Amino acid sequence: MNIAIVILNWNGRSLLEQFLTSVIKYSREATIYVADNASTDDSITYINNHFPTVQIIQNKVNGGYAKGYNDALEKIDADIFCLLNSDVEVTENWLLPIINTFQASDTIAAVQPKILDFKKKTHFEYAGAAGGFIDRLGYPYCRGRIFDTLEEDTYQYNDSIDIFWASGACLFIRKIIFEEVGKLDEDFFAHQEEIDLCWRIRNRGYQIKYQGNSTVYHLGGATLNSMNPKKTFLNFRNNLLMMVKNIAGAQVWFIIFIRLILDGIAGIKYIVDKKPSHCIAILRAHISFYRNLPTFIKKRKKESNSTKYYNILSVVWQYYILNKKHFKQL
């Protein structure tokens, strides 16, 4: 099984210096690529001088996560792609459990390892944790992470299960299925495009797996941290667009209506918390949502939409009203 580990880079020389060594050391079963998104720093020179075995793909523009990977992966021939963030530290023998998972069935399209926090290695990390799910209102959440509550890793998720979505921080996917479902949606630019991709994979009857016997550590927030209003803008806008594209039937419009109201409440909370720039980001997200709506209605018509996609009705209700902070309480 031929694996290509592809690290997307944009002006990330310091991250490559910190994290690329572990990828090279513990990934002898794979070929390692850095896909550079038109960096203006000395990332490429640094790689050529210090990591000559790493292959470089130079994208012409910074098209974000989605276009950056789509452009780069077209140039790579492999059975399995690993989309790996540049701020991820991998561990010894991390690839073997992933390979064994794929070999178990041709219907397994994508696999995610256990993702722990690089800054606090005893706990799960925000972006993916122990596998992703989604509620009926379209809110994503993870085993090991619900909103801002991160569980300690006590080996409670050292298993292998079906999940709804795998984290883009470390996403293994079969090349043939990646191309079959239409690759990453470049209209997302960044954030939640991997959930949209996984949704389309599941709509075609394939499996997405979490493999808890493989572990990586993710720094998180290396490109956009949680305090950046641009991240708020992308998350709120892309989540609405993703639901339009993938939720089946007329129910989607009722769900969108509810979400717009809840987004408004979130905006008010940002004002109360003295974060007005994030409230403005939500308003901008809604304006952009309406502008992109005709395009995504057309995309919706091309998709085999899912009729049952959620595990619980409302993670917001469970978390904020019922005070259930851990996945096993839901």
pLDDT band of 150, cuts 50, 70, 90:
very high
Question: CB-side exposure of 327: number of CA atoms within 13 Å?
Answer: 23
- 211: tokens are 């493999």
pLDDT band of 225, cuts 50, 70, 90:
low
Q: What is the rounded average pLDDT of the residues 194-216?
A: 96
Q: Rounded distance, CA 177 to CA 24, Å?
A: 26
pLDDT in the model for residue 224: 57
Q: Rounded distance, CA 10 to CA 64, Å?
A: 9
CB 204 within 8 A of CB 307: no
- Reference 85, options 171, 180, 173, 204; nearest CA is 171
Question: Which of these ranges, 19-33, 223-237, 275-289, has the smallest mean pLDDT?
Answer: 223-237
Span 154-167, pLDDT tens digits: 999 999 999 999 99
Q: Rounded distance, CA 239 to CA 131, Å?
A: 18
Longest dimension (CA), the chain: 56
CB 316 within 8 A of CB 139: yes
Is the pLDDT score of 179 beyond 90? yes
Is the pLDDT score of 244 beyond 70? yes
Is the pLDDT score of 71 beyond 80? yes
Q: Rounded distance, CA 313 to CA 319, Å?
A: 12
Q: What is the rounded average pLDDT of the residues 221-234?
A: 78
pLDDT band of 175, cuts 50, 70, 90:
very high
Is the pLDDT score of 222 beyond 60? no
Give the torsion sign (CA, 97, 103, 104, 110). positive
pLDDT in the model for residue 304: 65
Q: What is the rounded average pLDDT of the residues 217-240?
A: 85
Burial class (CB within 10 angstroms; exposed 0-12, middle 13-18, buried 19+) of 62: middle
**Angle at the Cα of 67 from the Cα atoms of 169 and 73, rounded to 5 degrees:** 75
- Reference 12, options 99, 84, 102; nearest CA is 84
CB 12 within 8 A of CB 39: yes
pTM: 0.94
- 133: tokens are 């799910």
pLDDT in the model for residue 308: 77
pLDDT in the model for residue 182: 95
Span 262-300, pLDDT tens digits: 999 999 999 999 999 999 999 999 999 999 999 999 999
Q: Taking the CA atoms of the chain, what radius of gyration do you get in angstroms?
A: 19
- Residue 92 DSSP symbol: T
Mean pLDDT score of the chain: 95
What amino acid is encoded at 1 in this protein?
A: M
Q: What is the rounded average pLDDT of the residues 234-241?
A: 97
Is the pLDDT score of 303 beyond 80? no
CB 207 within 8 A of CB 94: no
**Percentage, residues of the chain above pLDDT 90:** 91
DSSP reduced 3-state for 200: helix
Q: Rounded distance, CA 106 to CA 213, Å?
A: 20
pLDDT in the model for residue 226: 62
pLDDT band of 143, cuts 50, 70, 90:
very high
pLDDT band of 242, cuts 50, 70, 90:
very high
CB 144 within 8 A of CB 150: yes
Is the pLDDT score of 235 beyond 60? yes
260-265 long-range CB contacts below 8 Å, 24 or more apart?
260/286, 262/137, 262/316, 263/236
pLDDT in the model for residue 146: 97
CB 252 within 8 A of CB 243: yes
Please provide the DSSP assignment of 119-152 as one string. TEEEEE-TTTTT-EEE-TT--EEETTEETTEE-B
Question: Which of these ranges, 13-17, 245-249, 263-267, has the smallest mean pLDDT?
Answer: 245-249
Q: Rounded distance, CA 244 to CA 267, Å?
A: 21
